[in-house]
Structure formats: structure tokens, C-alpha cells
A and B are shown apart, each in its own frame.
Chain A
């Protein structure tokens, strides 16, 4: 158990809909990262938050947005869903650096299926 929790575990929805994925980082971790994993692309970085502020953006579509709340949990919002958005979505968190090393710990993921 990494200490990172994600809900829901599975999500099935229709094209055009909007969903929210939730992540709670490990206790004490200030950084939260969202990744998308598909069969052909592997794990792709979407967005990072650090202590409530957006820190870095990756390959995140304009239809997707995220935020990190004062209690450090994070939500990833996916809207106007398309079939191609079907994937596993992972949240990872990292804490204080040890020797400059950023070790990220992953949650169990949310499997999104868009029909």
C-alpha cells in the first residue's frame, strides 16, 4: 500500500459527459502528479500541483483540468469526454526530497471507460 488513495476505482460513462477523479496523497506529501496510461502511449504526465499551486503541465488537453485543495487532496476533471479518453488515470505524490531525489508513489488508479 503506497498510501496514495484514488476514487473511484472504475468509471464508465458516455461520450460528451464530464467526470471527476479524486486523489489523496500520502500524509505529508505536498506534490501531486496526474498521469494517463494507455496501451499505445504508456504513462504520460498530465499535470502537477505543489501545495495548492499548479507547478508543471504536460500533455493535458484543454478539456481536462485539475486542482489541489487546502487539505492537499486533488481532483482531475475531464469534460466533453471522447472515446479516446478511455484509459487508466494515476495519481502520484512525492514528499520532501532526500538528497535531491524525487521519489513518486502511485495510487491504484482509476480506470475510465467512455462508451
Chain B
């Protein structure tokens, strides 16, 4: 059973379009992180959200943590080819130095 479900699994869009990817769970997380991974490389941390209802913006990327801290979304405005990659959400079940639980990811392809 996958604790964190990400959707969609694959997404192919044209440059300039907007998109949203989702990360859902029936479990509560103390924090949730979003990573982007490119082929042959390790995941790179984009953002961490901690408070229920929290919204964080990183240039054209907007991250939201659900009120109940069970789900999150990533919205990209005016996607660019450089946004192409695997987007992973990861949750921490407890506060502290604990392992992360990862979703399987959304593979995004932005076509010029």
C-alpha cells in the first residue's frame, strides 16, 4: 500500500500551459516536502510545508498543504521546458530526524 498517492502519474503539456499535480494520503504528516528529480540525478528539494493550509510560492511554482495535513498540491504557472522532470512528494510522519515516505511521482514533460 502506497502511503502517498500522486496524480497524475504522467503529464505532457505545451509550453505556457498551467498544471497542477496532487499528493494525497489518508495519513497525517508533520511536514511534507516536494522534490524534483532529473534523469540520472538525485532528488532536489524544492520546498517544505509544515502548517495545515500553508501556501508557499517559488517563482512560478505554488505549493499548498491541506488543512488536515494529509494532502498537498503543486501548481505550475506558464510551464517551461526547464520544468520537465519527475516531481516527488515526501512526508515526514513525525517531527525530528525521521525517514521520509515518498509518493511514486509525477513525470512532467513540457514541450516547446
Interface pair B50/A42, CB less than 8 Å apart: no
What separation, in Å, do the CA atoms of A41 and B45 have in the docked complex? 20
Report which of A2, A44, A45, A97 forms a contact with B96, defined as CB distance below 8 A.
A97
Contact residue range for chain A?
A: 20 to 34
Residues of B within 8 A of A108 (CB): 40-42
| Chain B residues whose CB sits within 8 angstroms of the CB of A58 once the complex forms | 99
Residues of B within 8 A of A102 (CB): 31, 92, 95-98, 100
B53 to chain A, nearest CB (A): 17
Say whether chain A's binding surface is mostly helix, strand, loop, or mixed: strand
- Quick one: given A50-B97, A58-B99, A101-B48, are A42 and B104 in contact (CB under 8 Å)? yes
Q: Is B79 an interface residue (CB 8 A)?
A: no
> Is B74 in contact with chain A by the CB < 8 A criterion?
no
Select which of A48, A103, A111 is within 8 A of B48 by beta carbon: A103
Total count of chain B residues near the partner, CB < 8 A:
27
- The answer, among A4, A35, A42, for a CB contact under 8 Å with B103, is A42
Q: Report yes or no: A56 in contact with B48, Cβ–Cβ below 8 A.
A: no
Of B2, B92, B99, B103, most buried by chain A (CB within 10 Å of CB) is B99
Nearest-Cβ distance from residue B45 to partner chain A, whole angstroms:
6
Known contacts A30-B97, A45-B102, A100-B95; 20 further A-B pairs (Cβ under 8 A)? A2-B42, A4-B42, A33-B99, A35-B102, A42-B2, A42-B103, A42-B105, A43-B43, A43-B90, A45-B100, A48-B97, A50-B97, A90-B42, A92-B42, A99-B50, A100-B96, A102-B95, A103-B48, A104-B45, A109-B42
